[in-house]
Amino acid sequence: MQFENIENSNLVKQLQDFNQSHVLQFWNELAPTQRKQLINQLETFDFQLIDSLTQLASAESPWEKIAQAAEVPPAITLAQQSPDGLHYQHARATGTEALAAGKVGMILVAGGQGTRLGFDHPKGMFPIGPVSNRTLYQMHFEQVLGRSRQFGVRIPLYVMTSPPTHDETTQFLTDHQFFGMDPADVNIFCQGVMPAVDKDGKLLLETKSSVFVSPDGHGGTLEALARSGCLQDAKTRGIEHLFYGQVDNPLIQTCDPALVGYHLNSGSEMTSQVVRKTDWSQKVGNVVSIDGKVQIIEYSDLPEQYAKQTNPDGSLKLWAGSIAVHLFKLDFLERSLTQADSLPFHLANKKVPFLDASGTRVEPDQPNAIKFERFIFDLLPLAENAIVCEVKAEDGFCAVKNAPPAKSETPEHVKNAISDLHGRWLQAAGVELASGIIVEINPTFAADVETLKGKIPTGTKIAESTYFK
Ligand code: UTP
């Protein structure tokens, strides 16, 4: 086929070499602006990379071999975290000092498309406060604000969006005046995208003048932090550690001083919060140690026989489940940027609508495409002294993933989890709660039980659903 007025002959050659010329099949029908749009997009693609990733789809799975060597990671377990114990108190004191010295910042990733939830806006805009109806964004921003006030310091917040969520998120946060945070402390940065391919390795057209692309996974955080200047901004502010959380988990113990302390006291470059798996088949990433390096094996990659291994007392050997809460040393992130392939791409079979050769849009009902995503937790094996830190799931993890009638991770589950958690905080602070009521605490009122104790007199009785703010 002859392409009218196409200037970039090198690109045409690359498309031919990599068997992707079909993306120009509607070229001769396109208006000049559409042609420019298509060329601009194609020029951002690394065809060699896409080709080599596609080859991986037919490669033999390496996981059986990796799983054979999987041992338990170095951990601070709940048993070691007794609030009266010296270990915990030392960690809390160290973390408090670092926080009060302004050495900790927060990354919130919100670039996902929330397809399972089926909400028409960025997921952070989803209302989740059980009494207040606050959105996920408001909850996270106020958590950062609560910690800032608790430690008398400015904690910068870096929010990662993606091309599909960026503009609406920026508008929403601006309209709500960043929920009380100083705009100078909020940085919104956008992650990159990757194209998908069909089962034959061919790029998929979304329109006649654009190829389908989607966010490049939460692992895109590393590159996007650097490209956007956010890493430099953090450094300039004197930040030494970045706390990382995902927008769909409102239970995150944002910048928890004890976690920061364990991380510092262990000289860890990357610390991950984990829950103790309740069942071998629980759908969380398995945090393990292989040849002395901590790493995560996705639940779908860990062969059953290894997931089922038990200790002599019957408990699960590979017990640590990732909840996607991490703490990074900033120097470590900088070093990882210089290491080629520090974050490999993972392949996932997904349904991707596309234009067929006749220009008709096809909505597949089965996975028809391979998407390529990077995962942030792949940084773990590169980190020196990486540790995991156990948290009770009900205290730190309940993510909004699914729309009803799903049986788990629905908005209703998450609202109940928030009310239950805050109810436990109130009881720990000596407050009596009538049964069946819903409670919610704004973190600017109290960021944790410790702070709550100073706010509400012991013996206070709460008879109806209440939002403490
Ligand atoms: P999930 O993988 O659960 O994706 O992301 P999701 O977008 O929330 O939902 P589905 O899978 O489309 O239904 C976990 C977290 O990682 C972020 C998401 O915003 C969420 O906070 N994420 C995911 C990114 O920031 N970028 C990505 O490319 C993918």
Compute the distance between CA of residue 253 and CA of residue 465 in angstroms, rounded to an integer: 23
Q: Which atom of ligand 1 is nearest to the CA of 113?
A: 7
Could you tell me if the CB of 123 is within 6 A of ligand 1? yes
Compute the distance between CA of residue 114 and CA of residue 298 in angstroms, rounded to an integer: 19
Could you tell me if the CB of 166 is within 6 A of ligand 1? no
Is residue 298 within 8 Å of residue 224, measured between CB atoms?
A: no
What's the burial of 334, exposed, middle or buried (CB within 10 Å: 0-12/13-18/19+)?
middle
Q: Which atom of ligand 1 is nearest to the CA of 246?
A: 21
Class of domain 61-401: alpha beta
Please give the structure tokens belonging to residue 99.
């926080």
Is residue 268 within 8 Å of residue 241, measured between CB atoms?
A: no
Could you tell me if the CB of 161 is within 6 A of ligand 1? no
Domain edges within the chain: 1-44, 61-401
One digit per residue, the tens of pLDDT, for the chain of length 469 reads 667 677 778 899 999 999 999 999 999 999 999 999 999 999 999 999 999 999 988 888 888 999 999 999 999 999 999 988 889 999 999 999 999 999 999 999 999 999 899 999 999 999 999 999 999 999 999 999 999 999 999 999 999 999 999 999 999 999 999 999 999 999 999 999 999 999 999 999 999 999 999 999 999 999 999 999 999 999 999 999 999 999 999 999 999 999 999 999 999 999 999 999 999 999 999 999 999 999 999 998 999 999 999 999 999 999 999 999 999 999 999 999 999 788 999 999 999 999 999 999 999 999 999 999 999 999 999 999 999 999 999 999 999 999 999 999 999 999 999 999 999 999 999 999 999 999 999 999 998 888 899 899 999 999 999 999 9
What is the pTM (predicted TM-score) of this model? 0.96
Pocket test for ligand 1, best of 121, 248, 410 (most atoms within 8 A of CB): 248
- Token look-up 């909004």 returns 400
Q: Which atom of ligand 1 is nearest to the CA of 399?
A: 3
User: What phi and psi, each to the nearest 5 degrees, are found at residue 367?
Assistant: -55, 130
